[in-house]
Structure 1
Amino acid sequence: MTDKEISEIRRRFRPDRTNITHIAGCYVSDNREIIARFDQPVATATENEREKYMALLKRSLSGGQGKNLLDITFQTAQVADSDEHRLLMNLRDSGLKNESVLDQFFETVVQSLAMETNYVILLAHDVYDVPYKGRDGGHMADGSDTQFSYIVCSICPVKLTKPNLCFDAHEQTFHLQTQDFVVAAPELGFLFPAFDSRSTNLYNALYYTRSADNVHEDFIEAIFRTEPPMAAADQKETFQLMLSDSLEESCSYDVVQTMHSHLSDLIADHKANHDPEPLVLTKQQVEQVLESCGVEQAELESFDKRFDDEFGADAILSPANLIDAKQMQVSTPDVTIKVNPERKDLVETRVINGAKYILVRADDSVEVNGINIHIQE
């Protein structure tokens, strides 16, 4: 799904735009016991309650693609005949009104998900009359000829509030507020099926994780029966180790600086061009950058093999997962230097009389612990 398609579905989660009639839910304890099942009709909820429910569901379609929002792809055989795909289809096609299907889904989630707190599973079904898009990109509400029927799931921690002093207007004094269990923002969730090319794609789901470092692999395995995508933090660490190990002594400051500049430029250009398609990076693109830095053929072959082993030969990566485009960092065990990416030229490495140095040109003011100092000749 593109950013525009995700945004189009996100706009559905407003009381005046949605066709969601009820929300199916399950309240679960931290030791994997179902505390309560509920079915909340939207029509009987207060306006504030409706807005809260919609906000929690909408939150499962937020964040960065490749970090918080991950594509889940089903194999053709799964779509044709598999328990996991059939369960999701039955949830959608029943409009969340089949109790046995809901029980099966809730039990699958409970058995696969370990949470430190109690949590609530929220499920909603919506049918979207997809408006026809004109040549100018505008939507024509009266030109709809496609319906997108989908479910969205948000799994939210339920946390105990901290005790606070609150003002009692009647007694004109402060009292300790009673602690309550409140529903927090979703930890994970998903949309099924995907909304690709503004139409239904039964071969994909859009998965959400609040933490880019934890994709909840057991949940993905249980619900989708697919290999979990590598977490963004793991992608970054793997890419860094892959460069240093395969290039060995050729992995110089200049090589890493050039790679950082190239990826930063890709990210900046993609943002400036407002490209709706996700930004991707292939193995061939990385190798072209390394080759331009003068990396030897043997080291390129080593990188090629390592890439295939770690990510897969045809893998595509998100540049934003591999670097921090806002800064470069040069570190030793005892010193850390943070560098503005636009001024990477201020730093260089050099060997002087056999000793290795990191040199930082200091033409402007220099501060130590916030104190402006002067560098003597």
Structure 2
Amino acid sequence: MNEKEVGELRRRFRPEKNGITHIRGCYVNENREIVSQFNQPLGLMNQEESEMILGIIRRTLSGTLGKNLMDIEFATQQVVDGEEHKLLMTLKNSSLGDEEAVQAFFRRVIDSVDVEGNYLVLLARDSYDVPYRSRDGEKQDDASSEVYTYILCSVCPVKLTRPALSYYVHQNEFHNLKADWVVSAPELGFLFPAFDERSANLYGALYYSRDITESHEAFVDAVFHTAPPMPAAAQKETFQNILQGALAEDCRYEVVQAVQDQFCALIEEHRESKEAEPLKVSKGAVKCVLKSCGVSESHLESFDAKYDDEFGADAGLSPRNLVDTKQLEVRTPDVTIRVNPERSDLVETRTIDGARYILIRADEGVEVNGVNILI
């Protein structure tokens, strides 16, 4: 899925726009026991309550594609007779009305999810009459291309608030506000089936994780029976390790700087073009940057092999997962330097009288502990 498709679905989660008839859910305690279940019609809630619950489940479609939102692909055999895929289809096609399927799904989630403490599992099913878009992108509300039905699952921690002193306006008095249990934003969840090219793709799902360092492997296996996507934080660490291990003595400041600059330039170009499809860089593109920096052929071959082992030969990576676009960090055991990535040219490395130095050009505006100094 791309950003436009995700955004199109997100805009549906308003009381006047969605086709959700009811919300199903179960409240689970820290011992993985179901405390209660509910099947609540959305139409019987007041506007404030419906807006709040729609706002919570909408967060399952928030974050960045490739970081928080990741594509899940089903194998053909899974779609034909896979147990997990069949369960998801039953939930969707029955409008969450198949009680046996709902209970089986709740049990799968409870047995696999690794959220600490109490949490809420929410299930919503929506039916979207997808407006037709002409070739020039114009939306025609009176024409429909298809009806897209999907389910959205959100796993939300339920946390105890702290006691506080509250001011009651109508009484003009202060009173103690007792601690209470409140539903937090989703920790993980998914959309099924995927909304690819503004149409249902039964071979895909969109998986959400709030924490980009977590893969929730057991949950992904239980619900989709597939290997979880590598978390964004793990992608960054793995890529850094590949550069360091493969390039050896060629892993110089100038090389890492060039990779950072190239990725940042691609990200900015992609942002300005307003391209909907997620940005990906190939192994070949990275090798071209390394080669332009004078990395030896043997080290390029080593990079090639390590990349294939960790990501796969044809894997494209999101550059947003690999570099920090807001800063370039240079670190020693005792000193950390953070540089505006647009001014990485201010830093260089040099050996003087046998000692290695990091040099920073500082023409003006130098401060030490907030005090302007002269050099």
TM-score range for the pair, normalised by the shorter chain length: over 0.9
Q: Distance in 1 between matches of 2:49 and 2:281?
A: 43
| Contact residue 282 and residue 316 of structure 1 kept, 8 A | yes
Quote how far apart the aligned CAs of 1:172 are.
3.8
Quote how far apart the aligned CAs of 1:170 are.
6.1
Aligned partner of 2:334 in structure 1 is 334
Quote how far apart the aligned CAs of 1:136 are.
2.9
What is the CA deviation profile of residues 185-232 of structure 1, one whole-angstrom value per residue up to 9, with x for unaligned ones? 111111000000110100100011111111211110110011111111
TM-score (norm 2): 0.98
| Contact residue 32 and residue 114 of structure 1 kept, 8 A | no
| Contact residue 151 and residue 191 of structure 1 kept, 8 A | yes
Q: Distance in 1 between matches of 2:62 and 2:22?
A: 22
Aligned partner of 2:24 in structure 1 is 24
Give unmatched runs, 5+ long, in structure 2: none
What is the CA deviation profile of residues 2-39 of structure 1, one whole-angstrom value per residue up to 9, with x for unaligned ones? 10011111111111111100001010011211111110
TM-score (norm 1): 0.98
Query: How many residues align structurally?
Result: 375
Aligned partner of 2:156 in structure 1 is 156
The within-5 A match list for 1:1-377 is: 1-169=1-169, 172-375=172-375
| Contact residue 152 and residue 191 of structure 1 kept, 8 A | yes
Amino acid at match of 1:173: E
| Contact residue 30 and residue 114 of structure 1 kept, 8 A | no
Amino acid at match of 2:311: F
| Contact residue 165 and residue 175 of structure 1 kept, 8 A | yes
Secondary structure of residue in 2 paired with 1:275: coil
Secondary structure of residue in 2 paired with 1:142: strand
Amino acid at match of 2:225: R
Q: Distance in 1 between matches of 2:266 and 2:170?
A: 60
What is the CA deviation profile of residues 348-369 of structure 1, one whole-angstrom value per residue up to 9, with x for unaligned ones? 0000111000001110121111
Of the structure 1 ranges 172-181 and 313-322, higher mean CA displacement relative to structure 2 is found in 172-181
Q: Distance in 2 between matches of 1:159 and 1:216?
A: 20
Give unmatched runs, 5+ long, in structure 1: none
Quote how far apart the aligned CAs of 1:171 are.
5.4
Secondary structure of residue in 2 paired with 1:103: helix
* CA pair 101-360 structure 1, distance change in 2 beyond 3 A: same
Quote how far apart the aligned CAs of 1:175 are.
1.9
What is the CA deviation profile of residues 233-277 of structure 1, one whole-angstrom value per residue up to 9, with x for unaligned ones? 111011001101100000001001100000000000000000000
Amino acid at match of 2:321: N
Name segments (4+ residues, structure 1) moved above 4 Å: none
CA RMSD of aligned residues (A): 1.0
* CA pair 269-171 structure 1, distance change in 2 beyond 3 A: closer
Amino acid at match of 1:23: I
Q: Distance in 2 between matches of 1:111 and 1:255?
A: 46
Secondary structure of residue in 1 paired with 2:182: strand
Q: Distance in 2 between matches of 1:257 and 1:222?
A: 41
- Report percent identity of matched pairs: 55
Q: Distance in 1 between matches of 2:341 and 2:280?
A: 21
Q: Distance in 2 between matches of 1:171 and 1:296?
A: 77
What is the CA deviation profile of residues 55-107 of structure 1, one whole-angstrom value per residue up to 9, with x for unaligned ones? 11111001001110000111111111110000100000000011110000000
Q: Distance in 2 between matches of 1:161 and 1:365?
A: 46
